[in-house]
Each structure stands twice: as C-alpha cells, then as structure tokens.
Structure 1
C-alpha cells in the first residue's frame, strides 16, 4: 500500500463515516431500548472471565466482500459468516480462550451409559429477537426439517452422519430434547453444540414451499429477519455495509446482571481489497484488523508501539493456503426434468431440484435420483451416457419422471467438466507432486511475508499440536525432482521450445484462478506462475471476483486450478469431514461423489467413519495420522506457507481475548467487548 498517513489515536463513538460510490453516510450508534417487563432466561447464561463493562458505542469492521446470504445453513464463505455469526445462537458456545464448549441456549446436558443418547435442557424464557419463545420445537425443526432435508444443500449435514445415518433429534417437552447418534460420535458436544438454531415460526413455511435457500437471503427486509444472537439485522446496503443493532432478548449476561452485548451497534463495511481494508483501519473508519498483511506489519507495529491501538502477535494458526486441480471426472448435459404429478420433488445425486419442470445443466453417468411425494421417497440409480435415447421415462411408485433434452434432441450430448487432456494430468499423483516440488516456498516466505511465515506441507497445521502428524511427506523446492517426476509420466520438452508437452503432444497449459482484492493471494499467484514457467508449464493466471470464484468452485465446477484457503474452525479433525470425505460439499477437487472415485479417497472415507466412533484419543490419533499421510502423498491440495498471525483493535476496547486458532482473532467474543 502506498499510503503512509499517520494512524489516528482514537475514533469518536458518535458515528462512523462510510464511503461507497463517492458518497459518505454517517451511521450513529442507536441504543436498543429494553423494557423492564422483559422476562429473563432461567438460569441466566453468565459470561466467564470477563470484566463487567458499560453499554454503548459502535464497532466498525471493514471486510473484503459482503455477505452472499444471512442463512447459516447454506452459507459456505467467510464473507457471510462475518455477519450471520452475530445473528444466531447455538446450543453450546465454544470458548476459544480455554478451547472448550460451555453452555449456550442449553444450560445443561447429560449422556447415557451407551455414550450415544444425549439429553439437553434449554433455559426457560428464551426468546427470538421478535419476542417469540425459543423452544425445543426450534431445535428439532433446525435438524429434522432443515439440516437433514435432502432438498436443502446444507454445508454441515455431512459432518453429522455416521455411515450415512442421521442423528435422531426428538422433542421431550418444550425445554427438553434428546439426540441419539447411530454410533459413538467422539466430538459430539463441540460439534452438535456449534450449530445455529433457526426459528421454526418464521422459516417453516419457506421450507414447506421449497423456498428455504432464498429465505434469509440478502434481499430480506431487515424487519422480517428473526434471530437469537447478540445482534439483529437493522440495515443492509449491497456493496456498502451491513448494520446490526443489539438484540434485547439475547440470553447472555455478565456477573453483575447486565445483559450482553455491551456495544450498541456493529457495522460491517465492504471494501474492494486489502489495501482499502488497511486504509480504513488507519483512518479510523474501521476499528478492527483481524488479519495484518506482511507489507503493513512494520508500519502498524510501529504505530502500536506508540500506543495508537492494540496489536497482538498470535503466531501460526490453523489456516491453510493452497491450490488444487479440478479432478472432477463427471460429464454434464443440459437436461429438462418433468415429473407427473408436478408435486413430485426430485433430488439429482446430491443436488436438490425441488419440484419440476426444471431446465438445468446436470452431471450425468451413474446418477442416483431420489423422488419424494407426500412423505414417500423412492431412490433409483440410472445411467446416462452418449448412447442414452431421449426422452427417458422413469416410473416411480407415485408417478413418472421424464428426462429430456431442452432442445428436443433424441441423443444425450454430455460434455466433460474438465478438458480430457488436462484431467489426465490432474489425476496423476506424480504430476501433482512435481508441481509441488516446483513451488519456491522460500521465495514466497521472503518476498511476500518478509520471513514471517513457515513452509507448509500438511492439511492439519503444526499449530494444532494435538492432531498434527510431523511425519507427513514434504516437497521442498527442487525443480530437478519436478522434471524427473514429469518425465516418468511422459511429460517433457519435446520440441526444445522451453515448454512441456505430454505424450500426445499437448502443451502443459491450464488456467489458474484466485480471487481479486486479496493482494497476498494475487502476489502468490504471480510467483507460482513464474515458478511453473521456469518448469516449462504455461499457467494462464485469471483472477476473479470472490463470489464469482466461489460459484465456479461449488456450483458449475468449470475451472482448472484454484488458489484459495481455509480458515480456522474446530481443532478437532471431524470439522474437516465436509472437505476430506468424498461425498462432502466442500471436497473441492471433486465434491459430492456418490461413491469414492479413487482407492485413496475410499480409504480416507473409511478412516473418517471409524475415527469418530471411538472415544479413545490414541486410536483416533492413529487414524487421523494415516489420513494426513495419505493426503501428504496424494496431495490433492498443494500447500504453500503458513504466515504468522497479527491482529489489531482500537484502543479502549475491553475484554479482548486474542487467539490464533480462530479466524476472528480478536472479535470471536464480540458480545463481551465494550468501550472502556
């Protein structure tokens, strides 16, 4: 960043100026009136290890990109979580300082001798932000009607299944519910307790009408949004900001009986890139820098030493920076699906189509088609390929489903998701290993992070000392080894033009994407491009806007290679089930497989299924060690570096509990923060 202007020592709490499209909007804190007649939860949820604070003020947070949705069940990006994490409450609450789950909406729970049957007791007088009661009905609705609904793409459902079987969640009475797991589920409390509970009285109709994904979208009128978190939605301007106000019915208190949160308002401002983010912090228009770049470190550290704000050296965290190749072997075709009667709902593999008719490009091959009608479900496996004659009539017990070409063609015309010659390279382990050897990680550490980063070769971070396997295979920078591996698979410079070709004469060329606005990733992408050019690979670098890139990765899968990262979540490896298990929603290199395509993925699936079923840590650790060794050998992710984390927050904010182990380093406990 070119700007060297002085940092402001403090920022007036009377308001914050937001600039967008050339305009500046003044937002002032708006205290939420609390009626003395409001009933209090029993027992109260008392925040531990905090200093009682005073109410008031506004906290401004600048972020890259805005929310795609306020719906936590379908969101799969940090830009959405930045907001919705403050709008909902959970059964438990994870304390990142002490790394344990403490009571949240539930004030106590117990487990039977079988270690599978759990009973939870909610607090009395819990309320949604609209004043309606929050009860066991909402918990059961969240799980049975939403998370386990096959017509809803829940990013968390994969984590809460054992051998494909769901947890049984049942209501005992208004404040009591029971959960029975198919088998022992080792991290049960941490995981089950960490799911946002949804309001049945608001969303049940949307679920019934198949509009759940759209409900709580960014077009919602804030007056219609109902949650249970420390804040509620007050105003949203796409591309500009999201304004939150205190929820007067939030269930947490300090030990003096003051209801949290202390801070009146939170405004999350959208900025186009990391330069703008740093500039807003320097100008006092943002009060938090949850991630400080290397190029900003010296300047901000000097300012912090002068007492201009609080800055924390957090060390290496669990975040992962990597790129991967698209190994999706599926083909897709444009199809028109029509069911008779039209009330039949259709699930295509793991893609919920809902009611028909539907015109959509869908994966073909061996397809598991699920039809649902009036509480009945029927599963059929059909094969669609070049020889399939259309239209195809599929009979089910309660009607028919017709599969046709939208243009009326009689032949199915599938197209590969990935170009065949490129897919052949990407699927070859030696190709991926060679690319990893070709990456000059020392240059990344020095030129981008000024030495404040470590090399990384593992999915689980060395910072996660309990689970990390130090014996994972490593691929230090060695271009000669890279060329030797490529030669073993007939990739070499055949015409002495400085570029590699495969055995069929195809140039080794592919498109490399990352997101615009993240200057660290953009600079890494340029270095990777240079490294591979020296190897003889033509890498075409095409940065994309973040949400556009997410659509490619999780939507149509039309890409070759992507550089992104994963933030810190739970330290327990089960939190990565949706990434590492082959059926997972975010199994990036080939998501939502009906059955594992490779033997090594099948082995990971098996290990993940087994490790969660034992309470013996040593047994789990042995299996997770093997998972790490498989990933290290096959390297579906090519890991780069792990930078040292630094975060900052303005002076005068109390109860800050910094941690390297969670993406929101200094605001994970935002409901406890206050202005001194």
Structure 2
C-alpha cells in the first residue's frame, strides 16, 4: 500500500455469537437478595467472548481460592500485572488484541480511535465511559498540582503534545501530527500508563469537584499536606493497594493495607466471558501471603501455594522436583526466562567519584571486566550448564538475535583483559597486586546487590577470583532493593547487579527506547535517563558519541513506518550495546521454575516468564485458570 494512502488498521474483537450468559455461582446469593444486579445487567452490551477450545484450553468450573506468595508488601501490585486487564493486550504469541476496548482504529500510527464497550462498568457498578479518559487527561495529566511534570512522555511526539477528543460516551480519539508507533504497545505493558481513571471515585479528592470543607476534612483524616497529595494517595491504579478505588481487573482488593495476607475477590462486573456464557475469572478468590523471600521454595515444597514463580530461581528446581517426586501435590514446570540476562553487572557511568567515573566510561575497562568473566564455569557451577553463556543482548528466540552480539568480548581471557587495562595506563599495583587508580587508590570495585538471589552472590564469589587475576578487587555489598535503586539513581553506587533488560524478546515492532538513555531504570546511566525524562531539568546530559547515537536511532525508529527499517535500527542499537558493554551480561535463558497445583487447570506446560512483554502470568490469562475440584479449596 502506498505511504501516501491512509493506513487503516482495525484491531477488532473476534465476532462470536453471543452465548446465553449464566449467573456467577459465587455471587448468586447477593443477586437473590437484591444486593447485586443479575449477570445480564453486570456485563457490557458486547462482552469479550473467549473461545477456550480454539486456544487449546478446556472450559472451567467457577470457584476456589488461588494461593500465591509474595516477597514484599509491594508485591500487591503484581495482581494488576497478573490480572492483565488492559485496553489492548498481548496474546500468548505477542500479538496485540483489544481487551477492555471493543476495538481500535489506527490511521498512519498517529490517530487512534478507541471504542469502548457500551454497558461496561467499574467493579463498584459505575459506568466506564469516555468521561474516565477525560478525567485522566484534563484533571490528572494536565493538572499542575497532581502532575507537576506535566503530561507523560508518550503524549509527546517530536516535542509536540498530542490531542485527546471525546466524541461520545464510548469513543476516545488520541491524535498526533506525526506517527506514535509505541502508543498501543505501551497500553499493553505490565505497568501501563493508565490513561483512564474512575472519575466518579476520584472527584471527591479533587478541588475542582469537591467543597473546600469536605476536602479539608478528608486531608486531615488522611494526614497529608494537600489535596493533591490526598488525590495521589487514593489514586493507585498500578500499586493496586487501595481497596476503595474501583478497578477493571478480574479481582478486586478487599484487604487492609499493611497486612501479610492480602485477599482479592472476583470483580462482579468483569467484561470477559467464555463461549458458554460463564463469566470469568473462573477462580473466585486470590490469596497472596507475604513471606520472606528465602522461604518461598520451602513453602512451595510444603504445598502452601497453588501458583508460584515469584521468589523462585533456578537453584530451587532440585528441591522442588524432589518434593514433587515424594508425593507433593504440585507440578514443577520449567518455563523460558524472558530477561535478556539472568545476571548482569552495571558499571555506573554516572558514579559521583570523578576518578572512577572516567575509568568506567572508558570502554576498554568494561571490555576487560567482561573478558575477566569465566561464564562457562559460572554456568556449570550454578546452572548445570543449562544456561547460555554470553553478553547481554536479544535472546535466541527473538528475530533480532545475532550470535556475534552475544559473544562480543565474552571470551574468558585474562590475557586480553590485562592487556586492555595496561593499555589504559593502569599499570601500577599495590604490594598485594591490586591495580591502582590514576590517583593512587587501590582498584576496589564495589558491586551492590539486592541480596535476594543466592546465585547472584555465588556468581560474584567466582568473579572475585577471576577479576583478582586482573588486579581488581571485587567487593560485594548486599542492600535492600529500594535502597539499592535509590543509590544507583543518585550516582552513589559504583556498580550494581540485576537482571538484564526485562524484554529480551524484542521484535521490530517493539519500541527500542530502553536501549537508549531515556530513563533511569537502566542502571548503567541513571542520570542520563533522568535528563531525558525531565527534559533537561534533572540529571546529566548524555556524554559520548555512542549514547547520543542510540538516542538518534531510537528517534528514527519512532518516525519509521515500515518493519524493515525498524529492524535495521534495532540491529544497529544492539550492535552498539554489544560493542560498548554497558552491561556485563553473564548468562541467559536459564529455566524458570513455576510451581502449579495438580488441581489447577489451563496453566500452559510451556511458557515465558517475562515482565515485559507479558506481565509474567498475565499474557497467559490467569483469569482462565481453574481448579478441577474447586470445592476442595479452602480459604485459610
């Protein structure tokens, strides 16, 4: 089709014959008592009908309580990811389809017409309409008290703010003068920009819609300083920790905050049904118990969870398999891991120490560190040789995979590494054989960890020996996860260890923005990311030709209108990362253990455990899972 012609892409919900809907067993008593409308009045006029047989799944039985474990109180937010109700969402093969939306019309990747489902309601029964989008746009995104930084980045294309129109109650139009190809994929993220809000609920906390006296009383009761702080505290679409805030997710939070046991109950107004007319989710309740991370495997082995991957790592497989063989009432599935690297070390190019900073910004230093990693030894010792040794890049399942990127500077060679360090002029050593920095200090390379994964500490222990051959003393410093992040963002961390990119399975259609210094989440350049995110008000301007080239390539991808060009841009960005070694990847593709109760059905035998894309269990549609014997499930 000619580029001069308007491209109309319609992402439409499959048109199924509408089945006769059945009342939800769990809610029947409330309907009988008149406390809840019947199912015919709770569903949208056109619900999303799921043909499970076409997906190779079985139709389920409603009921039961799904038990899962979290490692931190903040893990409550995972229910928003696992539930994965999105305006548009990924299918299991990572294609986009409407979900909450009835359909989407896309013209030239710059005009997006969102069609809502008439009759769709929030979990409290209030109508879900274009007014909820209007409230987000006019009263949240553009309110300087609530959002001082202004509208989010994705609303800008080439520094031009997009427009949002509301033709009627069930239509919303987002439009830009240039293409914004990442708009729909962002809506499908594990942590999406929620471009709608329950206006009927949040207006009571907004000064434009509430009397000053009522607002002041609410501010005092909540013990916050302003109405905006109150509004932001009550508006937790992603955190999912405010039981009073209505939701469109399959389960509603009904727990008090701060408790170790969080309970989620089915949403009476959920928009999805199966082809028999049974409302999803099949499972009535989800119970998340917060426990110490180190106990997750033992509790899974003891049968205290029905669905678990959070807090489990490759080293847990042996104990889980043994428990399964010894009569445990669960299966241990081995899914693929979608992170670009199981373990990656990030030298902080924005580290506050100017001497160390200049050393780390020299690509020869980063290459030397990579050559000083005995990946095969780590693979054998920690993963029984089942992982793939190499640097951080797109995984082999990605169409953008290039084995040369994975092998770049990944050969274990102390000879090459020492030659690179000598070439940098770092030839002086202490009496103990440790190289000296240009200012005479011993090269003690401090790597900070979240202290949550034993294999990370084991890998660093091996690295301590191999880097010692280079004259570098590795010092490991375990920290709390939040403290680690804050230190990295502030430039106080010399280096950190984490997973690789969340999305190790990119396609040409995937936005490559996370490969450029566009946000602080990439631990190698947090302040360069802050500079981009704040439009130059915070952080530091990126230094060096390669980071600037990455920004230019990401910008070109945003303007490209064909997949061939996008793929070429992706490949150049991946080559730059491989050559620059911004993150020292150790291994990738180690199997991820997933513990599944033997009573739980429709859980795929093979899957991908990835936060992006896919929202962990979300892309596999946890609302379609069910218990073979739900009556046996007991709420603890």
- The TM-score bracket by the shorter chain reads 0.7 to 0.9
Q: Does 1:498 align with 2:437?
A: no
1:605, 1:574 → 2: CA distance? 17
Residue 166 of structure 1, CA deviation:
3.9
Q: Does 1:116 align with 2:54?
A: no
CA 1:98 to 1:424, structure 2 compared with 1: closer, same or farther past 3 Å? closer
| Structure 2 residue matching 1:641: 3-state secondary structure | strand
| Structure 2 residue matching 1:539: 3-state secondary structure | strand
Structure 1 residue corresponding to 2:565, chosen from 619, 622, 641: 619
Aligned residues: 543
**Contact persistence 2:114–2:171 (CA under 8 A):** yes
Q: Counterparts in 2 of 1:315-326, with a 5 A limit? A: 315-320=336-341, 321-326=343-348
Q: Does 1:210 align with 2:144?
A: no
CA 1:504 to 1:549, structure 2 compared with 1: closer, same or farther past 3 Å? closer
Q: Does 1:486 align with 2:404?
A: no
Aligned residue for 1:445?
A: 379
Residue 80 of structure 1, CA deviation:
5.5
Aligned residue for 1:580?
A: 515
Structure 2 unaligned regions, length at least 5: 1-24, 208-226, 629-636
Residue 304 of structure 1, CA deviation:
4.6
More strand by share: 1
| Structure 1 residue matching 2:73: 3-state secondary structure | coil
2:234, 2:461 → 1: CA distance? 40
Q: Counterparts in 2 of 1:46-125, with a 5 A limit? A: 46-48=49-51, 49=55, 50-67=57-74, 79=75, 81-85=77-81, 89-95=85-91, 97-112=92-107, 114-125=108-119
TM-score normalised to structure 2 length: 0.78
Q: Does 1:224 align with 2:220?
A: no
Residue 239 of structure 1, CA deviation:
6.6
Aligned residue for 1:130?
A: 124
Residue 323 of structure 1, CA deviation:
1.5
2:487, 2:509 → 1: CA distance? 26
Aligned residue for 1:653?
A: 600
CA 1:430 to 1:57, structure 2 compared with 1: closer, same or farther past 3 Å? same
Residue 110 of structure 1, CA deviation:
1.5
Q: Counterparts in 2 of 1:172-183, with a 5 A limit? A: 172-183=167-178
CA 1:470 to 1:188, structure 2 compared with 1: closer, same or farther past 3 Å? farther
Residue 442 of structure 1, CA deviation:
1.1
**Contact persistence 1:445–1:451 (CA under 8 A):** yes
**Contact persistence 1:656–1:666 (CA under 8 A):** no
Q: Does 1:278 align with 2:297?
A: yes
1:235, 1:436 → 2: CA distance? 47
Aligned residue for 1:433?
A: 367
**Contact persistence 1:64–1:517 (CA under 8 A):** no
**Contact persistence 1:294–1:450 (CA under 8 A):** no
1:85, 1:146 → 2: CA distance? 22
2:289, 2:126 → 1: CA distance? 30
Q: Counterparts in 2 of 1:375-386, with a 5 A limit? A: none
Aligned residue for 1:268?
A: 288
2:141, 2:520 → 1: CA distance? 13
CA 1:444 to 1:149, structure 2 compared with 1: closer, same or farther past 3 Å? farther
Residue 635 of structure 1, CA deviation:
1.5
CA 1:476 to 1:213, structure 2 compared with 1: closer, same or farther past 3 Å? farther
Per-residue CA shift, 1:530-585, capped at 9, x if unaligned? 3323322222211012222233234x342111101143487347766553332324
Residue 156 of structure 1, CA deviation:
11
CA 1:242 to 1:499, structure 2 compared with 1: closer, same or farther past 3 Å? same
Aligned residue for 1:290?
A: 309
Residue 222 of structure 1, CA deviation:
4.6
Q: Does 1:245 align with 2:265?
A: yes
1:240, 1:153 → 2: CA distance? 34
Residue 246 of structure 1, CA deviation:
1.0
Q: Does 1:629 align with 2:575?
A: yes
Residue 625 of structure 1, CA deviation:
0.4
**Contact persistence 1:318–1:567 (CA under 8 A):** yes
Per-residue CA shift, 1:164-211, capped at 9, x if unaligned? 334432211110011213422335433335434432333356576432
Per-residue CA shift, 1:636-659, capped at 9, x if unaligned? 111111112332311121121342
Aligned residue for 1:184?
A: 179
Residue 281 of structure 1, CA deviation:
0.6
CA RMSD of aligned residues (A): 3.1
2:138, 2:404 → 1: CA distance? 41
Q: Does 1:513 align with 2:448?
A: yes
Structure 2 residue corresponding to 1:592, chosen from 518, 530, 543: 530
1:564, 1:139 → 2: CA distance? 36
**Contact persistence 2:76–2:240 (CA under 8 A):** no
**Contact persistence 1:287–1:649 (CA under 8 A):** yes
Q: Does 1:170 align with 2:193?
A: no
Structure 1 unaligned regions, length at least 5: 1-29, 68-78, 329-416
TM-score normalised to structure 1 length: 0.74
| Structure 2 residue matching 1:262: 3-state secondary structure | coil
1:661, 1:296 → 2: CA distance? 16
Per-residue CA shift, 1:106-150, capped at 9, x if unaligned? 1112223x4422212100111111211111122344456546777
Aligned residue for 1:386?
A: none
